[in-house]
Structure 1
Amino acid sequence: MFEEWLSRCRQSRQLVLVIVAIALLLDNMLLTVVVPIMPEFLYDIQHPDHPLSVTIPPAPTNELPVPHGDMSGPTGNETQWKENEATLKKERHDDLVHETVAVGIMFASKAVVQLMVNPIVGPLTHRIGYSIPMFAGFFIMFISTLIFAFGRSYSVLFLARALQGVGSSCSSVSGMGMLAERYPDDQERGNAMGIALGGLALGVLIGPPFGGFMYEYVGKTAPFLILSALALGDGMLQLLLLQPGVVKTEGDPPSLKSLVMDPYIIIAAGAITFANTGISMLEPSLPIWMMDTMGAGRLKQGVTFLPASISYLIGTNLFGPLGHRMGRWLAAMIGLVVIGICLMIIPTARALNDLIVPNAGLGFAIGMVDSSMMPELGYLVDIRHSAVYGSVYAIGDVAFCLGFAIGPALSGTLVNTIGFEWMLFGIAIINFMYAPLLYILRSPPTKEEKKSLVTGEKSSVRYISYQSENDDE
């Protein structure tokens, strides 16, 4: 009886969708749980005598703390205290701005590693199937989470973040490929991928406030231990239902080169990249900017991305089916324009409440782009190549990772050189400029139309050549 029930479960497309959604949920919880933890944790490692959690105390009338060291000894009058307080604040500001670079590089390392691994995982799924890479992704994520839990230096935490990139590549590419294979109908596929991206959105939603709350009241280790336990449960579920094993893909898979040379696939992938670059720039820089301009603590840093995450969850689930009806190209085009507008509004915020509307709009618009372009990649492969999906979703994941590699890697340097405001204005302008290109995806030619076009061109060449020969005679 149990074996029959288990057999039915293994054949269920809905349970496969649940497994993929859970894998994306946990991966993105780990991705974002570090956002409110790492900036302050790394600052405190480098400044053990002046941690961020300790504010500069007001001086008694006749007593003045020194800028460095003991904060209780008498050193002068109130005027000098104000000068020393200003010096301390200036030093802290400079340290925070400088730290943006280190935090940005750490955050970017995951995406950079994922970029390098994706071209390997995509073609590998054509040879061994999706279940083994999916399980490998769980195992690597489990190890990465444990390293985050017990790491106490920048280099060890950098290693954990980079290792997560390998696991994310395995989970994302194989998960999306598995869904595209199990849901061959274009509309059903869009709905399924919208739900799976909802799992991703939920991870982004839960991660920052969960990390901020646990770090504030329990400590750095606790959130990562909880995540490792959840990852272990996901691994057990995969073993039970997916039964990882070698399954060779039927049909002739398109080469990675032919997909990369397809301009329609590149335009769809580019939309994913630019849509996610803005939010990835904000991840390392916004918490530090809030500390500097608003004096925001851990909890405020943790909840600042909450509106974006909630609206991303709504956007992905709404535009999975809606994008198919209105035209995915149009949904993504509108999304890029809205992203640009929201990025330009964010630097005008002077309090946490001012960030709610632009962050919510940003998350909703990114959801529009992701939930439209991910199924569009599968559709383009169906009509222009062959229905084998590992490589095209490796390209889709590369596009996603490019945004999350470029953003954090450049944000620290850009904040130092042109400032937080102009950094966001720049990426907003890029989104505005890219949006019109999506009109090209309105009616992409099919494989047969491509062949007809090529055949027609060859016939024209032969006809012209024949005419030239006759004229010479």
Structure 2
Amino acid sequence: MGDARRQRRLLLLVVCVALLLDNMLYMVIVPIIPEYFAAVRGGGGDGGDGESGGGNRSLLPARYPPATGDNEDVQIGVLFASKAMLQLLVNPLSGTLIDRVGYEAPLLAGLAVMFLSTTTFAFAGNYATLFAARSLQGLGSAFADTAGIALIADRYAEEPARSRALGTALACISFGSLAAPPFGGVLYEFAGKQVPFLVLACVCLLDGLLLLALAPPCAAGARANMPVGTPIHRLMIDPYIAVVAGALATCNIPLAFLEPTIANWMKESMGASEWEVGLTWLPAFFPHVLGVYVTVRLAAAYPHLQWFYGALGMAIIGASSCLVPACRNFWQVIIPLCGICFGIALVDTALLPTLAFLVDVRHVSVYGSVYAIADISYCVAYALGPVVAGQIVHTMGFVQLNLGMGLANVLYAPVLIFLKNVCQMKPSHSERNILLEEGPKGLYDTIKMEDRRGVGKSLRPAGDTEENGTDSYHRDLTEVSEEDSSDYEYS
């Protein structure tokens, strides 16, 4: 743990496990919800005789369980949306706090709250307790998810390592969401409803202990000298960040709106069986991981095309969403769903590192608030999905829902052209001034300090000109030394 590179990898592991747990807890209750409502109706919650409970279970359950009445539809929708709703409300506060105190302490606090939430799920016996546990998870996620992604962006400051690390985190998010329902279904079937939550709670506890060993509270003072981050309200009105946030919200709407509606549509339109409904989303994990891998490799080779990868992903999402209603059997449905997840991987993997780069060049390199904005974008989609999607299908129809979502993504894709010149941006004057407030420390600082005083000098590679439109010569302050200063010239 004393080695900086290994410690960075261990912190990445901690964050990936936290994101995996959060998304598994989000979906692991899917096969268990019907039993709670059966118990409330007097139908035998745990189904001891195998008739009332076991007969309705599926080892590969639907993403969202069907309810038997309008009131239960509303209750299930509110239950699933409560996590995203509370997370949406807390994120502006959590982002500001993370910018002030650092990343490790809020991540540890988020894991502690998630542990409490998971334990509450295990012993919940009524709807009110389930709702409290679900909302508590949203509170923990607002700190753990935002702090975790921001910590990755901070520790992996260089490209393409940052894109690879964020891509790994996105793969864990996908795996957690898609693997949780069968995980919960199998353990619930053979071990009881408490076991899936207790397993997740133990993993959460171990993850928190590892983080505590890597970043003990006594070391928190090391973050005291970190620069003051740009307020979240100023980041929100940054047009470039606003474009990225809009893309993240728009590209996740098809996934968030299809999850609670596609199961009933498949049963009604094609007579899909329980195992087909349960397996619908599992194959989509593989194209999602493929999309992450492809985008990371392309970003390493052609970093100036990040905006294009995002736009291409939104076009794929739009086309795939429009194809869903045309499917007539289970195997046809898998294809557009895989396209949606592949497109989401392109958008997320391309634009999440772009957020960090925008903060680096236009604001102060503190990432809590900017990734709180990203989390808000996700939460907008997932808070509306379980509540609004069913109502849209009821009033307008499943076909109109998909066509609307597809059209929204196709129309938003050209907006990302606005990000075309982001890679050519140079660090803002505000950030350089903050870095230089303590006085020059090296060759780069000395030259920039003279430029600040009006001498008009800057550092760039010999033969390079301002017309190149690139900031590749901006090197880390610790990398420019007397030994390599001969490769630069004054102008």
TM-score tier, shorter chain, comes to: 0.7 to 0.9
Q: In the TM superposition, what are the counterparts of 1:138-177 in structure 2 within 5 Å?
A: 138-177=111-150
Say whether the 8 Å CA contact 2:100–2:228 is kept in structure 1.
Answer: no
Query: What percent identity do the matched residue pairs reach?
Result: 39
> Which amino acid letter does the alignment assign opposite residue 147 of structure 1?
T
Deviations 1:372-421, CA, capped at 9 Å, x for gaps: 11111001111111211111111111111112112222112212212233
Q: Distance in 1 between matches of 2:67 and 2:375?
A: 35
Say whether the 8 Å CA contact 1:316–1:371 is kept in structure 2.
Answer: yes
> Which amino acid letter does the alignment assign opposite residue 238 of structure 1?
L
The counterpart of 1:214, out of the listed 173, 187, 198, is 187
TM-score by length of 2: 0.76
The answer for unaligned runs of 5 or more in structure 2 is: 45-50, 57-64, 431-491
Q: Distance in 2 between matches of 1:98 and 1:347?
A: 27
The answer to whether 1:346 aligns with 2:324 is yes
Instruction: Specify the alignment match of 1:35 in structure 2.
Output: 30
The answer to whether 1:368 aligns with 2:341 is no
> Which structure carries more helix by proportion?
1
Q: Which structure exhibits the higher relative contact order, with contacts defined as CA atoms closer than 8 Å and separated by 6 or more residues? A: 1
Q: Distance in 1 between matches of 2:322 and 2:383?
A: 21
Instruction: Specify the alignment match of 1:387 in structure 2.
Output: 365
SS at match of 1:380: helix
Q: Distance in 2 between matches of 1:188 and 1:21?
A: 15
> Which amino acid letter does the alignment assign opposite residue 341 of structure 2?
G
The counterpart of 1:337, out of the listed 315, 340, 359, is 315
Instruction: Specify the alignment match of 2:102 in structure 1.
Output: 129
Deviations 1:134-153, CA, capped at 9 Å, x for gaps: 11111111111122222232
> Which amino acid letter does the alignment assign opposite residue 366 of structure 2?
V
Instruction: Specify the alignment match of 1:309 in structure 2.
Output: 285
TM-score by length of 1: 0.79
**1:9 CA drift (Å):** 6.7
Q: Distance in 2 between matches of 1:394 and 1:12?
A: 24
Instruction: Specify the alignment match of 1:261 in structure 2.
Output: 237
- CA spacing shift, 1:120–1:414, aligned 2, 3 Å: same
Q: Distance in 2 between matches of 1:154 and 1:288?
A: 23
Is the deviation greater in 301-310 or in 166-175?
301-310
Q: Distance in 1 between matches of 2:309 and 2:402?
A: 22
Deviations 1:297-328, CA, capped at 9 Å, x for gaps: 65444322112223222222331342352611
Instruction: Specify the alignment match of 1:117 in structure 2.
Output: 90
- CA spacing shift, 1:120–1:433, aligned 2, 3 Å: same
The answer to whether 1:406 aligns with 2:379 is no
Q: Distance in 2 between matches of 1:230 and 1:316?
A: 25
> Which amino acid letter does the alignment assign opposite residue 206 of structure 1?
A
- CA spacing shift, 1:143–1:396, aligned 2, 3 Å: same
The answer to whether 1:14 aligns with 2:12 is no
> Which amino acid letter does the alignment assign opposite residue 328 of structure 1?
Q
Instruction: Specify the alignment match of 1:280 in structure 2.
Output: 256
Structure with the greater alpha carbon radius of gyration:
1
- CA spacing shift, 1:134–1:297, aligned 2, 3 Å: farther
SS at match of 1:112: helix
- CA spacing shift, 1:166–1:37, aligned 2, 3 Å: same
SS at match of 1:284: coil
Q: Distance in 2 between matches of 1:267 and 1:347?
A: 29
**1:450 CA drift (Å):** 9.1
Q: Distance in 2 between matches of 1:223 and 1:366?
A: 28
The answer to whether 1:435 aligns with 2:418 is no
> Which amino acid letter does the alignment assign opposite residue 257 of structure 1?
H
**1:289 CA drift (Å):** 3.4
Deviations 1:189-218, CA, capped at 9 Å, x for gaps: 111111121221221232122123333444
Q: Distance in 2 between matches of 1:427 and 1:130?
A: 35
Say whether the 8 Å CA contact 1:36–1:287 is kept in structure 2.
Answer: no
**1:23 CA drift (Å):** 1.0
Instruction: Specify the alignment match of 1:108 in structure 2.
Output: 81
Instruction: Report the aligned-residue RMSD.
Output: 2.8
Deviations 1:221-250, CA, capped at 9 Å, x for gaps: 222222112112211211222224533352
Deviations 1:246-303, CA, capped at 9 Å, x for gaps: 3335223212121111010010111111111111112222234345555656544432
